[in-house]
């Protein structure tokens, strides 16, 4: 049996056109080349596929059976090529992104809105999770790209820096007496502290910073979402460690205020990660270009 696609392609067009000459024109081949291809296919299959007539060629009964199958494959190939054109033009397809709730809401949402406006045919799938979970999603092929806090070192991943964020401590009116003051780390720890879950990059960063100065920062309240973190601070349940850009509205309206420390809190960076040395979709490429 033969698996030579080109021979079947010649057979298909010869049958479709009913003429070896017309098939040759369609395929940009010479008529002898078409005749030779048909002869090769007939020899490999051990059957006669065409009868010659006054107008050109006509399928034998066996040829008609073969054509019914080959025609379906040609239709599928044509549809596949059309779909590839659609995907290239971003008329259809999907984009799967992984990241934390806070990064989606406070950072990616404007880009997602713009992308959806430009390419309404692309379906967006957002997968929420912590950085370790997003890394797993990417390695398992469940997402096209991930948005995470840096630094991130993994030989299988390629991470490009996107934006810089600044984390800080904030409090509500319950701690109004601290407005305008600069606290030491030791003084801060005298108050209830609200932190994000321990496997988050933000939590790891502030914990490591305090350890660097010889302190162990233990939260009185631990939450799993930034919105809840902000609400705890607003209601006076404690002093929360949060990304300043994520509470810009609350800081501006005065429902929260920033508490200064006598040390500098290093800024954090957000990165877009993809699998290293792996091709990514046109949609993912366009989105990364848009964000950068």
Instruction: Provide the residue-wise pLDDT of the chain in tens; the chain has 292 residues.
Output: 455 889 999 999 999 999 999 999 999 999 999 999 999 999 999 999 999 998 899 999 999 999 999 998 888 888 788 778 777 788 888 999 999 988 999 899 999 999 999 999 999 999 998 888 999 999 988 999 999 998 888 999 999 998 899 999 999 999 999 999 999 999 999 999 999 988 788 899 999 999 999 999 999 999 988 899 999 999 999 999 999 999 999 999 999 999 999 999 999 999 999 999 888 888 999 999 999 8
Nearest to 148 by CA among 99, 111, 210, 115: 99
Please count the structural domains in the chain: 3
Is 60 in a helix, a strand, or coil? coil
Whether 199 and 125 share a structural domain:
no
Whether 179 and 233 share a structural domain:
yes
Whether 260 and 184 share a structural domain:
yes
Domain that holds residue 22: 5-88
CATH of the domain at 33: 1.10.10.10
Q: Of 48, 63, 88, which marks where a domain is finished?
A: 88
Whether 9 and 50 share a structural domain:
yes
Whether 121 and 142 share a structural domain:
yes
Structure tokens at 22: 């017309």
Alpha carbon dihedral 86, 91, 94, 99, in 10-degree steps, equals: 130
* Burial classification of residue 172, based on how many CB atoms lie within 10 Å of its CB (0-12 exposed, 13-18 middle, 19 or more buried): buried
Whether 157 and 282 share a structural domain:
yes
Q: What is the pTM (predicted TM-score) of this model?
A: 0.69
18-28: string of b/e by CB count within 10 Å (b at 16+)?
A: ebbebbbebbe
Quote the Cα angle for 164-165-171, to 5°: 170
Is 102 in a helix, a strand, or coil? helix
Structure tokens at 53: 């007539």
| Upper half-sphere CA count for residue 108 (Cβ side, 13 Å) | 25
Q: Of 70, 88, 106, which marks where a domain is finished?
A: 88
Residue 135 CA, distance from chain mean position: 12
- CA-CA distance, 97 to 86, in Å (whole number)? 21
Whether 149 and 225 share a structural domain:
no
Q: Of 88, 106, 126, which marks where a domain is finished?
A: 88
β-strand pairing of 193-196 with 239-243: parallel
Whether 40 and 121 share a structural domain:
no
At 64-113, the pLDDT tens digits run: 999 999 998 888 888 788 778 777 788 888 999 999 988 999 899 999 99
Whether 280 and 261 share a structural domain:
no
Whether 77 and 19 share a structural domain:
yes
CATH of the domain at 226: 3.40.190.10
Taking each helix axis from N to C terminus, what angle separates 61-88 and 5-17, rounded to the nearest 10 degrees? 110
């Amino acid at each position: 049996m033969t698996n030579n696609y080109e021979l079947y392609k010649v057979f298909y067009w010869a049958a479709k056109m009913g003429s070896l000459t017309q098939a040759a024109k369609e395929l940009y081949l010479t008529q002898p080349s078409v005749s030779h291809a048909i002869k090769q296919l007939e020899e490999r299959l051990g059957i006669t596929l065409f009868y010659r007539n006054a107008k050109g060629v006509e399928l034998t009964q066996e040829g008609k059976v073969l054509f019914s199958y080959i025609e379906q494959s040609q239709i599928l190939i044509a549809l596949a090529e059309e779909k590839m054109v659609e995907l290239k033009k971003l008329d259809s397809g999907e984009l799967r992104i992984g990241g934390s709730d806070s990064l989606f809401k406070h950072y990616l949402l404007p880009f997602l809105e713009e992308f959806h406006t430009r390419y309404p045919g692309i379906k967006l799938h957002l997968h929420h999770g912590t950085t370790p979970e997003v890394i797993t999603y990417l390695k398992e092929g469940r997402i096209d790209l991930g948005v995470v806090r840096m630094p991130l070192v993994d030989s299988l991943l390629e991470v490009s820096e996107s934006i810089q964020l600044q984390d800080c401590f904030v409090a509500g009116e319950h701690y109004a007496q601290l407005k305008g003051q600069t606290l030491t780390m030791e003084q801060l720890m005298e108050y209830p502290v609200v932190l994000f879950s321990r496997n988050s990059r933000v939590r790891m960063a502030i914990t490591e910073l305090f350890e660097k100065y010889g302190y162990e920062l233990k939260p009185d309240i631990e939450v799993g979402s930034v919105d809840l973190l902000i609400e705890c601070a607003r209601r006076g349940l404690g002093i929360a460690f949060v990304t300043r850009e994520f509470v810009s509205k609350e800081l501006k309206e005065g429902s929260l205020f920033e508490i200064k420390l006598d040390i500098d809190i290093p800024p954090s960076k957000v990165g877009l990660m993809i699998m290293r040395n792996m091709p990514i979709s046109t949609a993912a490429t366009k989105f990364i270009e848009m964000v950068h």
